[in-house]
Amino acid sequence: MATQPYDKITTAMQERYYNASPHNLVRIILGKRQSTDTAGENPYTRAASSFRDWRRQGILLQDAEPSIYRYIQRFSAPSPSNAVQFERQGFIALGKIEDYSSSVVFRHEQTLAKPKADRLDLLRATKAHFGQIFMLYSDPGAEIDQTLASSEAPDMEMSDEYGVLHRVWKISDSGTIEQVRKKMRDKKLIIADGHHRYETALNYRTERRTQAEDKGKELREYPVAPYEFAMMTFVNMDSPGLLILPTHRVVHGLINFSADSFRSAAGKLFTVDEADPTVTPERAISMLREAGHTGTAILAVTRERAFLLSRSKPAAGVFENVSVRQQGLDVVQLHKGLLEHVLGISETAIRDQTNLTYVRDAGEALNSVRAGNADIAFLMNPVRIEQVRDIAFGGEVLPQKSTDFYPKLLSGLTIYALEP
């Protein structure tokens, strides 16, 4: 039933989910398109029909009492450090949708219009939330995790295709729920993952408010209307189980790219040291980690060369309109200094991924350039949670694909239906 988030489902995964079960959630959150689709028959209308049918048939059951759900994921970090074990704790509950201007919910990434339009069409059709919005809050003493701790067996347990163990406990005790509500009441939240889904929920809320006004309903009804809330998974940002992975950049399709010209231009912005061009992924990650202790560290690899860029230099004009807070981030140094200034790739081309591919696996990035399928690959250290926190609370956003919170939260473990 459960799946990876819709935006992480490849065509092959979609097919596999379809074949796994006639009731797999993929048929709702990422249904197949057909050549005969019309305004009245399309993936969204089919999703709504499936959701209604599954509820009527008892495949999906409504909880008898208000509940929140303790959610624990046990996992290994992806290679090359997959021997390290992690446990990430959180809980699933409804969260009130707040405008960013209220300074309660903070974003750290920009969003794109197309994904939001797609999710809004699905929400309009189904009137339900199927995926988790991943929210971070601060609780240095882990009081909330301790409140939810239990020695009972989980109500749900499954392993996904990445070997991540997902366990869920249903918590219906009103006293425990009220304790959590009190502890969360004044928390500020950062969207870790699910920016498009959150802003879709915002847009849908505004849409429904307008409809309510047109029908003459009072504004005082809004705080209790179902569309004022969305399903969220709340995770303590102070937890040692919070893992952020880097997303590497692979650049292709450049005209007259030259490794020598790149080295010369990059040398005006960074200290550039020649590195072993046959560097392995493991060694590359180790080099970056070591160099990152003293500041910026970016490994640039071409087909026959490799350069370790460190100790950034002052550069007039390169970081105009970029805050001092952001200038210290490797990902900003890469985007503004190397992609835009050195390689001449525009912000629009970066946003549209015209010359850029985002790759999680360092080995895949290295293989792309060594096979001649790309001009240069940039390997990076991950952004630290403290940096994400400071950027978000400062009202700023990072470049796209700056963070990869691993692992993803499964969709379908719980569903929030806005209507009975």
Residue range 31-52, pLDDT digits in tens: 999 999 999 999 999 999 999 9
The answer to pTM > 0.85 is: yes
Residue 118: partners with Cβ closer than 8 Å, 6 or more residues away: none
What is the rounded average pLDDT of the residues 71-87? 83
Residue 2 within any structural domain of the chain: no
Residue 28 within any structural domain of the chain: no
Residue 323 banded pLDDT, cuts 50, 70, 90: confident
**Is residue 169 located within the same domain as residue 110?**
yes
CB count in 10 Å sphere of residue 289: 13
Residue 12 within any structural domain of the chain: no
Least confident of 57-71, 109-123, 189-203: 109-123
**Is residue 71 located within the same domain as residue 200?**
yes
Average pLDDT, the chain: 93
Residue 114 banded pLDDT, cuts 50, 70, 90: confident
**Is residue 224 located within the same domain as residue 259?**
no
**Is residue 196 located within the same domain as residue 96?**
yes
**Is residue 134 located within the same domain as residue 213?**
yes
Q: What pLDDT sits at residue 187?
A: 98
- The DSSP result for 107-162, as a single string, is --B---HHHHHHHHHHHHHH-EE-S-EEEEE--TT-HHHHHH---SPPSEEEE-TT
Judge whether 263 and 301 are in contact, CB under 8 Å: no
Residue 200, pLDDT > 70, answer yes
Residue 79, pLDDT > 80, answer no
Q: What pLDDT sits at residue 219?
A: 55
282 is in which domain, residue-wise? 247-381
**Is residue 210 located within the same domain as residue 308?**
no
Residue 216, pLDDT > 80, answer no
- The DSSP result for 362-374, as a single string, is HHHHHHHHHTTS-
Residue 270 within any structural domain of the chain: yes
Residue 254 within any structural domain of the chain: yes
What is the rounded average pLDDT of the residues 98-104? 97
**Is residue 154 located within the same domain as residue 265?**
no
Residue 77 within any structural domain of the chain: yes
Residue 319 banded pLDDT, cuts 50, 70, 90: confident
Residue 48 within any structural domain of the chain: no
- The DSSP result for 217-275, as a single string, is --GGGGGGSGGGEEEEEEEETT-TT-EEE--EEEE---TT--HHHHHHHHTTTSEEEE-
**Is residue 224 located within the same domain as residue 185?**
yes
**Is residue 311 located within the same domain as residue 226?**
no
Q: What pLDDT sits at residue 190?
A: 98
Number of domains in the chain: 2
3 state DSSP class of 55: helix
Residue 321, pLDDT > 90, answer no
What does the pLDDT look like over 346-367, one tens digit per residue? 988 998 899 999 999 999 999 9
Residue 324, pLDDT > 90, answer no
pLDDT-above-70 percentage for the chain: 97
**Is residue 145 located within the same domain as residue 284?**
no
Residue 30 within any structural domain of the chain: no
Residue 14 banded pLDDT, cuts 50, 70, 90: very high
**Is residue 189 located within the same domain as residue 301?**
no
Q: What pLDDT sits at residue 352?
A: 86
What is the rounded average pLDDT of the residues 210-217? 78
CATH number at residue 291: 3.30.1760
**Is residue 180 located within the same domain as residue 201?**
yes
